[in-house]
Amino acid sequence: MANLFFIPQYIISGENALQMSAEHLTSFGRKALIVTDDMMVKLGNVKKLTDILEDSNISYVVYSGINGEPTHSMIDEGVEIYKNQGCDFLIGIGGGSPIDSMKAIGAVSTNGGSICDYMGKKIEHTLPPTCAIPTTAGTGSEATKVSIITNTNTGVKMLLSDPKLMATLAIVDPIFTLTAPPAVTAATGVDALTHAIEAYTSKKAFSMSDIYALSAIQRIFGNIYEAYSNGSNIDARREMSIAALEAGIAFSNASVTIVHGMSRPIGALFHVPHGLSNAMLLNVCLDFLKQGAVERLCQLGQAIGVFRSGMTQEEGAEAFVVATKSLLRTLNIQTPEEFGIQKEEFFSQIPKMAEDALISGSPLNTRRTPSKDDIMELYKKLWEKSE
């Protein structure tokens, strides 16, 4: 079976990647819309970017309104600024939310209408040049053809997927991740791990996506705890940044599965950051997906060195599951209760969340196809883990 493989047109990675990007940004246009959040401005990350733009004689306007998971109204506001200010290309800097928003703003600016019209639809017209600069090692949005935007009118996280959403340029400079606190480092790192595991166990996995997924998983297991416990370690930060990029490439091509399908409704209804909701769910979903992906999880056990000579495939798969759960414990991932979600409210929303998860399509990529009842039970187990 033939497979089409997508990556950004240009990727610049490593220390000083931002400085190296100037010549490329100069060719993108004359005025950039910088899509970001208030924290990126406060931390000085936006200034690092604008200094480069000013040195290159590129005009810009900063839209720092992506404070939280992106919503359709945020996108509407960004499109209005882009058009009214006469911008001709876009730069997203921050976590997955600003980068996803940058893609969505670009799509609407050239295709019209409202972002709410785009769910499940093909994007007809090419976006303006886009540049993605991640400041966390997690979402991989800098290397994906997807964008996730919440429609606050319906309470649904819309999954937009189209090759035209792929960034023209990805700048992966670990210097930006040094400002991420431990809890964010952990949640976003597990987000990347989830991307890689789901890409590798997806029904749509193929040889090219496997290469990136395997590499990402090995890097994450080797570096996430060091980045979490010693955030100033630039080597660990660099490896995690590369891993997030690799995981993004992997899942953008092979798709995600049950964890992401279940994660989006939690984010939409309870405002849990995307990476954290994925991290919460990975712990309970591994046992479910294992039954359909024993061989693949055994291979992951071999990749991280927990498979032992003489083990069966079942034992190798279980060794990987155990190692992953152990890693999650060391990273102190918040439970739903610790995040502040009320149990009664959570349980009352389980039928809707299960329905929305299935509508997203992602769970159907799982090698063990879940029913609505299966997903509802997994949501309940997620809560039980927090008690």
In a domain, 26, yes or no: yes
In a domain, 4, yes or no: no
Residue ending a domain, among 155, 177, 199, is 177
Quickly state the pLDDT bin for 387 (edges 50, 70, 90).
very low
Verify that 315 and 346 share a domain, yes or no. Answer: yes
- Averaged pLDDT for residues 141-158: 88
In a domain, 1, yes or no: no
Weakest mean pLDDT among 1-10, 24-33, 242-251: 1-10
Residue of higher predicted confidence among 276 and 319: 319
Verify that 150 and 200 share a domain, yes or no. Answer: no
In a domain, 210, yes or no: yes
Residue of higher predicted confidence among 157 and 308: 308
Q: State the CATH number of the domain containing residue 18.
A: 3.40.50.1970
Residue 196 confidence (pLDDT): 98
Kindly report the average pLDDT of the chain as a whole number.
94
Query: Do 250 and 196 contact (CB within 8 A), yes or no?
Result: yes
Residues with Cβ within 8 Å of 176's Cβ and at least 6 positions away in sequence, in order, are 45, 48, 93, 133, 134, 135
Residue ending a domain, among 128, 151, 177, is 177
Verify that 116 and 215 share a domain, yes or no. Answer: no
Verify that 372 and 251 share a domain, yes or no. Answer: yes
Which domain range does residue 96 map to?
Answer: 10-177
Residue 180: name the closest of 219, 136, 234 by CA: 136
| Gap between the Cα atoms of 341 and 269, Å rounded | 10
| Gap between the Cα atoms of 348 and 352, Å rounded | 8
Verify that 186 and 121 share a domain, yes or no. Answer: no
- Averaged pLDDT for residues 345-370: 94
Verify that 192 and 304 share a domain, yes or no. Answer: yes
| Gap between the Cα atoms of 106 and 130, Å rounded | 8
pTM > 0.85: yes
In a domain, 3, yes or no: no
| Gap between the Cα atoms of 132 and 350, Å rounded | 35
Residue ending a domain, among 117, 151, 177, is 177
pLDDT digits (tens, 9 = 90+) for 61-111: 999 999 988 999 999 999 999 999 999 999 999 999 999 999 999 999 999
Residues with Cβ within 8 Å of 366's Cβ and at least 6 positions away in sequence, in order, are 201, 202, 203, 257, 258, 288, 289, 292
Weakest mean pLDDT among 120-124, 137-141, 218-222: 120-124
pLDDT digits (tens, 9 = 90+) for 166-213: 999 999 999 999 988 999 999 999 999 999 999 999 999 999 999 999
Query: Do 221 and 236 contact (CB within 8 A), yes or no?
Result: no
In a domain, 266, yes or no: yes
Verify that 24 and 94 share a domain, yes or no. Answer: yes
Would you tell me how many other CB atoms lie within 10 Å of the CB of residue 99? 34
pLDDT digits (tens, 9 = 90+) for 296-332: 999 999 999 999 999 999 999 999 999 999 999 999 9
In a domain, 5, yes or no: no
Residue 263: name the closest of 247, 274, 251, 254 by CA: 274
In a domain, 2, yes or no: no
Verify that 124 and 186 share a domain, yes or no. Answer: no
Quickly state the pLDDT bin for 155 (edges 50, 70, 90).
confident
In terms of Cβ atoms closer than 10 Å to its own Cβ (0-12, 13-18, 19+), residue 19 is middle
Residue 385 clears pLDDT 70, i.e. is over it: no
| Gap between the Cα atoms of 284 and 213, Å rounded | 21
DSSP lists the bridge partners of residue 147 as: 160
3 state DSSP class of 129: coil
Residue-level length of the chain: 387
Verify that 24 and 156 share a domain, yes or no. Answer: yes
Residue 5 clears pLDDT 90, i.e. is over it: yes
Verify that 37 and 90 share a domain, yes or no. Answer: yes
Verify that 164 and 237 share a domain, yes or no. Answer: no
Q: State the CATH number of the domain containing residue 269.
A: 1.20.1090.10
Quickly state the pLDDT bin for 281 (edges 50, 70, 90).
very high
Would you tell me how many other CB atoms lie within 10 Å of the CB of residue 121? 12
Residue 185 confidence (pLDDT): 95
Residue 386 clears pLDDT 80, i.e. is over it: no
Residues with Cβ within 8 Å of 326's Cβ and at least 6 positions away in sequence, in order, are none
Residue of higher predicted confidence among 319 and 138: 319
Verify that 133 and 201 share a domain, yes or no. Answer: no
Helix 182-201 / helix 274-290 crossing angle, nearest 10 deg: 40
| Gap between the Cα atoms of 100 and 368, Å rounded | 29
Number of domains forming the structure of the chain: 2
3 state DSSP class of 65: strand
Residues with Cβ within 8 Å of 327's Cβ and at least 6 positions away in sequence, in order, are 193, 221, 224, 225
